[in-house]
Structure 1
Amino acid sequence: MTASRSTALITGASSGIGAVYADRLAARGYDLLLVARREERLHELAARLQQTYGVEVKTLRADLTQESDIQTVEATLRDTPAISLLVNNAGTAQMGSFLASSAQTHQDIITLNITALTRLTLAALTRFNAQDRGAIINIASVLALHARDTSALYSGTKGYVLNFTRGLQAEFAGTGVRLQAVLPAATATEIWEISGVSVDHLPAGSVMKTEDLVDAALAGFDAGEAITIPPLHDEALWQRYEEARLAVFSAVGTGIPAPRYVR
Structure 2
Amino acid sequence: MNKKYTLITGASSGLGSAFTLCCARLKMNLVLIALPGSTIKATAGELVRLYGIDVRVFEFDLTNRVAFDTHIAIIKKDYPVNFLINNAGMGGTVSMLDCAPQLIDKIIQLNIGCTALLTRELLPQLLQQEKSFILNIASMAAFSPIAYKTVYPASKAFVASFSLGLREELQQKGVSVSVAYPGPIMTNSDTSRRILLQGYKGRLGLFSTTDLASRIIRQTLAGRAEIVPGWWNQINHALMGLIPSTLKVRLISGAIKRELQLTH
**Any gaps of 5 or more consecutive residues in structure 1?**
243-263
SS of equivalent to 2:42: helix
- Post-superposition offset of 1:212: 1.5
- Post-superposition offset of 1:99: 1.4
Partner of 1:57: 55
Query: What percentage of residue pairs aligned between the two structures are identical?
Result: 27
The partner residue of 1:143 within 141, 144, 150 is 141
**Any gaps of 5 or more consecutive residues in structure 2?**
242-264
Deviating beyond 3 angstroms after TM superposition, the runs of 4 or more aligned structure 1 residues are 130-133, 232-242
The partner residue of 1:86 within 62, 84, 87 is 84
Going from structure 1 to structure 2, the CA distance change for 1:46 and 1:234 (only over 3 Å counts) comes to closer
Please give the per-residue CA displacement for 1:142-178, whole angstroms capped at 9, x wherever unaligned.
1110122122100000000000001000101122111
Cα RMSD of the aligned pairs, angstroms, is 2.7
| Structure (1/2) with the larger helix percentage | 2
Contact 1:78 1:126 in 2 (8 A): no
Going from structure 1 to structure 2, the CA distance change for 1:181 and 1:171 (only over 3 Å counts) comes to same
Are 2:198 and 1:202 aligned? yes
SS of equivalent to 1:214: helix
- Post-superposition offset of 1:218: 1.6
Q: Give the number of aligned pairs.
A: 239
Q: Distance in 2 between matches of 1:86 and 1:39?
A: 23
Letter in 1 for 2:195: V
Are 2:66 and 1:68 aligned? yes
Letter in 2 for 1:16: G
Going from structure 1 to structure 2, the CA distance change for 1:196 and 1:64 (only over 3 Å counts) comes to farther
Larger Rg: 1
Contact 1:77 1:124 in 2 (8 A): no
Letter in 2 for 1:200: L
* TM-score computed with the length of structure 1 as normaliser: 0.82
Letter in 2 for 1:180: S
* TM-score computed with the length of structure 2 as normaliser: 0.82
- Post-superposition offset of 1:40: 4.1
Contact 2:185 2:192 in 1 (8 A): no
Please list, as runs of the form range in 1=range in 2, the aligned pairs for 1:231-242 lying within 5 A after superposition.
231-232=230-231
- Post-superposition offset of 1:74: 3.0
Letter in 2 for 1:96: V
- Post-superposition offset of 1:182: 0.7
Q: Distance in 1 between matches of 2:53 and 2:129?
A: 24
